[in-house]
Structure 1
Amino acid sequence: MVNGNGIDDGFQERLRQAESAEREMQRLQPLAAEAPQLRLQQAKAQKEEERMRAKEDALSKARFSAQSASDKQNRVPELLGQAARAVIELYTLLKDVDSSRRQAMEALAIADRVDYDIELEEGEEHERSLDRDTRGLAYALAARHGDGKVRQLLEELDPEFSMLRGCNLDEPLYRDVANFVVRHAVPREAAPQAMMVNGPDSAPISESEPAPTEASDSDI
């Protein structure tokens, strides 16, 4: 039906719907304006939740690892005691080895002195039989005796001896332990006789021997 203004009922209905929608939009517009802020708050809440979950997971792992470390540490005193006793036993043994080597050198020094005296007496007798001067003979013979000769004799008794002969020194930690014990067991004031096996990260290991008394001018 069309009224006098040329507006039919369908138009009126559409107008009512449009006005109703307009009022609804006006009513919802403030709420719609909140959408960006609400989405931002939601994202922040989700991020905070993820952070707290990650933190709790990390704390849980930390508590587990800390407890595991504590449980393992409980074994340290016993193992350290075992290691210390083993080091002390090794230290004592190396001291005994060094002492025996010293005794061997002292005995060889006596034997070398006997050889020196015999050679000197026989040499002087021979030189006198030829009516030659014997004053230089003692010095010449002394050069073949003393420290060097004693070390040579000891080497002949036990060729290529070393404090760590037969030990596995391929591992750096083994070498470090060996270096530590040998340096403490062998007196520092003694002169090094032979270098041991050395690794790139280890200090040299040396065997110490006493310096036997070399034939002096007063003894000749």
Structure 2
Amino acid sequence: MTNLFSVFDPTTSMMSLSINWTSTALGLMLIPPMYWLMPSRYMMMWNNTLLTLHKEFKTLISPSGFNGSTFLFISMFSMIMFNNFLGLFPYIFTSSSHLTMTLALALPLWMSFMLFGWINNTIHMFAHLVPQGTPYILMPFMVCIETISNIIRPGTLAVRLAANMIAGHLLLTLLGNTGPGLMYPILSLLIMTQIALLILEFAVAIIQSYVFAILSTLYCSEVN
């Protein structure tokens, strides 16, 4: 050290690269990127989608619902759609086409709604068993029908998602297995059909995740 101020000389280097000024960039890493980076079109589209879902779910749950409860259904929508999209890639396991996963999503959610409703809003839950305007003679039958329809809700949620995922993938697989033995003109037609079915499966992946989330939101609104 030739003098007291030589410690400030820019001499630090690694592999012939000066790393003296990296400390200037370290502070930027501590700032959330949303404050110093322009969001991409993908991020803006995704944020607008989540905001739209939040407003729609909030309307269904009603103002009496708990604040922040919509984010549970938005997260579930995102996870199911992510799994559905992953299943469209070759050699990737489609987890959302198995009842093991779909029931694991639907059953705890429905059970928590039922426990919350019957513990906190018992009279309200009893009132749901008999629709308004039901004749007195049909009330016992309506109670049985409403009870059965309530019990099978998690099963219908799980089977609907799994069956729709299985149906499209099976059709794509069956058509793809016939490809090697076809003539070239028919093979080109088969490829176009496969592309059209793949586009349809992209739409089904979004629609089924939305249906699962929206039905769960409706079930949640009934217990408030």
TM-score tier by shorter-chain length is: under 0.3
More helix by share: 2
Bigger Rg over Cα: 1
